[in-house]
Amino acid sequence: MMKKLLWILNLFLVTGVFTSCDEVDDPYEHLDEFITDTGDSRFNDTVMNDANLSSRVILIEDFTGHKCPNCPAATDLGKQLVDDNPGQVFVVAVHNSGNFSEPDSDPDGKFQADYETEAGENLRVEFQIASFPAGLIDRQEWNNSFRVGMGQWENNVNTKLQNPDYMELNFRVNSTNIYNTDSRILRVVPNVTALDSESGEIYFVVYILENGIVSPQEDSRFPDSTPIKDYIHNHLLRASFPLDDIGTKIFENPSSGDQYMTEFQSMDELRFELKPEWAAQNCEVAYVIYNRTSKEVLHFETMPLMNSGG
């Protein structure tokens, strides 16, 4: 379970001050400078990540598209792998698959939504994913290719799950996310501890995912080939920051116990403004820690964007 904070706890966390006897005429006065660029502090919604993860989470980045007729089968397979291995596997839907993911240029077309992202396209090009459905699994090579066809997902995942050394945590993250419902600005303050030695440059990137999006989808399993009008898209990658898929460098050749720490209102605080059309109450925040040298994803976790809808 995610550790959820009430607003009053957020005040204590942000200010670092607790004085039970002092009278305060304006309880928000001391936060005026702190929130000048994020709106009314009373709308802040704070979520702490679950710092008690006991296992590595295997990340499948599923390259898909609403015009890809074979992709829903991969989506269902990914969901089955998640259901069979709760807390150990997660699938992110990356809607970058060339023509399969492009919205219709015809205003009367059936596929008007644009789910493509710069981050997704950068990953598709970097890892040379040209046929779909396909995925990256922790961005590791499998049979001499980073691209893993859906027919190999289960074998790949099971091989990783059966390796206790592989499934050990590489990092411990204690992070705070503050989402402001007025300004729609998300602020992420990561504190990361290395639990083992790693070689290479280690980067931290934030994904924003959205669930419950109802939008047409091609599906070859239906013989009439008519798009499913009320298909539900989940864990859809909406954005990645900072610098799209690149993120921010947190370590170089870290040893066990090394820490990367940031503070509120510092230059290292990560910020992103959600688009108005995204349903914030249906969004998730995910952390990806990866080795930029080897490309491998070393840590993944996710949590709600908000404590509650609204």
pLDDT in tens, 270-310: 999 999 999 999 999 999 999 999 999 999 999 999 986 44
d(C-alpha 42, C-alpha 255), whole Å: 40
* pLDDT on residue 309: 45
CB atoms within 10 A of CB 284: 20
Mean pLDDT computed over 193-198: 96
Delineate the domains of the chain, giving CATH numbers in brackets: 50-304 (2.60.40.10)
Name which of 149, 114, 115 is nearest 133 in CA terms: 149
Mean pLDDT computed over 134-163: 97
Residue 12: pLDDT band (50, 70, 90) is very low
d(C-alpha 146, C-alpha 123), whole Å: 11
Q: Comparing 29-38, 45-54, 69-78, 130-139, which segment has the lowest mean pLDDT? A: 29-38
**Amino acid in position 21:** C
pLDDT at 4 over 60: no
pTM of the predicted structure, to 2 decimals: 0.84
CB atoms within 10 A of CB 105: 7
Tens digits of per-residue pLDDT, 225-277? 679 999 999 999 999 999 999 999 999 999 999 999 987 766 667 999 999 99
> 31 or 288: which carries more pLDDT confidence?
288
Mean pLDDT computed over 46-60: 85
